[in-house]
Amino acid sequence: MDFLAQLKITALNPGVSTGSEWISSKGEQIDSFSPVDGTKTGSVMAADETSYNEVIVKAEAAFREWRLWPAPKRGEIVRQVGEALRDNKEPLGKLVSYEMGKSLQEGLGEVQEMIDICDFAVGLSRQLYGLTMHSERPSHRMYEQWHPIGVTGIISAFNFPVAVWSWNAALAWVCGNTTVWKPSEKTPLCAIAVQNIVAEVFKKNQVPEGVNCLVQGGRSVGEWISNDTRIPLVSATGSTRMGKALSATVAGRLGRSILELGGNNAIIISKDADLDMSIIGAVFGAVGTAGQRCTTTRRLIIHESVYESFKQKLVKAYGQLRIGNPLDTANHVGPLIDTDAVKMYQDAIAQGKQQGANFIVEGGVLEGAGYESGCYVKPCIAEATNDMPIVQHETFAPILYIMKYNTLDEAIAMQNGVPQGLSSAIMTLNMREAEQFLSHGGSDCGIANVNIGTSGAEIGGAFGGEKETGGGRESGSDAWKAYMRRQTNTINWGTTLPLAQGIVFDF
Ligand code: NAD
């Protein structure tokens, strides 16, 4: 495992940092076990309250300096971070794959996303545009500016252990904010590696200590962040359960949050679909990352006239899936993150059966050589109805529910008929169907695709979803605005003081 040494990861790592400096802490020790083979890869020390406070004080002080750096200069630092990530793509991609369990291609792809968002943020650093307005008063000018907001908390999930952080950090930095990252306690080593990579760039450029902070730990450290009035903005990625708790706390102190929560994504397979293309989109969407993407395809809503033939194709494709070590590129499906996730998968299958789901491809936990970690499961498919409680719920595992529809209105109602609203797709060559799906009467999700699946996204668009997915947007388009505060400015360059709305105030 050369990649650990290349990324400067040791057996026991400090878990609290203000950028280049590591701070000792007396929090719990978090051990990282690889779901690939069950090996204990390393440990980190979680933050305690003292070290956490030290970090936030540093992050606040750094903000006062960093916000005064010209934005393009901050962009130049992010450009160098992107270069450092390019240099480390191979070892970091391997670590992501080994610690989280996704395929090597997806691990490398995740690092590529980090590089892409850095490139995006470099350009953005010269495009933090505000509008100008015409004043109703003579000899007045109005315009708006976007200013840095302050210390930004980033709480991330295990399934994208590095990319989600970068979507937030790259934007937050060019916007002039400092960041405090609390990664998932299930993938602590990925965060150590990223911290080491960024530290070199920051040190070389004399970036103030405190711009890029790390506080490792579990839920309690996340709760310190959501309660902390020194952190005006918290961006949180994870389950809807976490989002509901966190957003109530942040809103209770009138802070701002960006929420990226669970999905329950469906593809509508029309009678006018290219079925060969649809099968690739559906299978990759359902089994990629072993069903542990927020955009994983969990439901297929199939037109009744192609239902049977598509079902046969699906069963055949599932029969060809190779499940095993994700670092071996011959395999399609790796492990779940841990044995708790395996238990949730088994419970969901049992509940599905109780609720009447008919499993046409059976699931199960794999045992024997190569599966010693106990985290490898079989992707499965069940015929179900949209109203079953298990179908309404996001199970973070490769369980695919399929169902029939007759009219497109009915299919769209089923697609929208779940509490979550992240990603959606229609497979059709019929322009009317595609346009209806994308219209204001169509999909209610943050992401709606035509002739590609639900899974994955490019960094250029704003990423996020509606309803229980939380409503936040990250990454491209104008998502940066959520990381800044807007200020409206009115300047009087005349010799009198006219009031707005024609009000006269004479004395
Ligand atoms: P999780 O909710 O268990 O944990 C996510 C993070 O929140 C972790 O860092 C955890 O320590 C922290 N946390 C948990 N409870 C908290 C609380 N009360 N206050 C503050 N912090 C708290 O999620 P997970 O199992 O790591 O990730 C899987 C979930 O994340 C899925 O639901 C998936 O759909 C979602 N997800 C969403 C997106 C998106 O962009 N919409 C992206 C990735 C993952």
> Domain residues of the chain, as ranges?
35-261+470-488, 265-460
Q: How many CB atoms lie within 10 A of CB 446?
A: 24
Q: Which residues contact 52 (CB under 8 A, 6 or more apart)?
A: 16, 215, 221, 224
d(CA 324, CA 103): 10
- Return the residue matching tokens 């390393």: 42
Residue 1 has pLDDT above 90, yes or no: no
Q: Which two tokens stand for residue 261?
A: 């929560």
Q: Which two tokens stand for residue 93?
A: 């991609």
Which of 239, 298, 339 has most ligand 1 atoms within 8 Å of its beta carbon, as the pocket-test mutant? 239
Q: What are phi and psi of 420, to 5 degrees?
A: -95, 160
Q: What are phi and psi of 415, to 5 degrees?
A: -55, -45
Contact 437, 462 (CB under 8 A): no
CATH code 3.40.605.10 for 35-261+470-488: yes
Instruction: Answer yes or no: 433 catalytic.
Output: no
Pocket of ligand 1 (CB under 6 A): 155-160, 182, 184-185, 218-219, 222-223, 226, 237-239, 242, 245-246, 260-263, 294, 394, 396, 422, 469
pLDDT tens column, 45-60: 999 999 999 999 999 9
**365 alpha-carbon distance from chain centroid:** 27
Centre of ligand 1 from the C-alpha of residue 155, in Å: 8
pLDDT tens column, 165-176: 999 999 999 999
ipTM: 0.98
CATH architecture entry for 265-460: 3-Layer(aba) Sandwich (3.40)
Task: Give the active site residue among 110, 113, 260, 468.
Answer: 260
Which of 231, 237, 296, 454 has most ligand 1 atoms within 8 Å of its beta carbon, as the pocket-test mutant? 237
Nearest-atom number in ligand 1 for the CA of 218 is: 11
pLDDT tens column, 376-425: 999 999 999 999 999 999 999 999 999 999 999 999 999 999 999 999 99
Centre of ligand 1 from the C-alpha of residue 472, in Å: 14
The reported pLDDT for the residue numbered 454 is 98
Nearest-10 Cα torsion for 459, 465, 469, 473:
50
d(CA 259, CA 469): 7
Centre of ligand 1 from the C-alpha of residue 408, in Å: 33
State whether residue 443 is helix, strand or coil: coil
Enumerate the H helices of 301-439 as residue ranges.
307-319, 339-354, 389-392, 408-416, 431-438
Over range 301-312, report the average pLDDT.
Answer: 98
Q: Which residues contact 346 (CB under 8 A, 6 or more apart)?
A: 363, 365
Angle in degrees, CA 392, 396, 399, rounded to 5: 70
The reported pLDDT for the residue numbered 17 is 98
Centre of ligand 1 from the C-alpha of residue 330, in Å: 30
Q: Which two tokens stand for residue 220?
A: 């309690």
Centre of ligand 1 from the C-alpha of residue 38, in Å: 23
Residue 140 has pLDDT above 90, yes or no: yes
The reported pLDDT for the residue numbered 507 is 85
pLDDT tens column, 65-98: 999 999 999 999 999 999 999 999 999 999 999 9
d(CA 481, CA 474): 10
Over range 442-449, report the average pLDDT.
Answer: 98
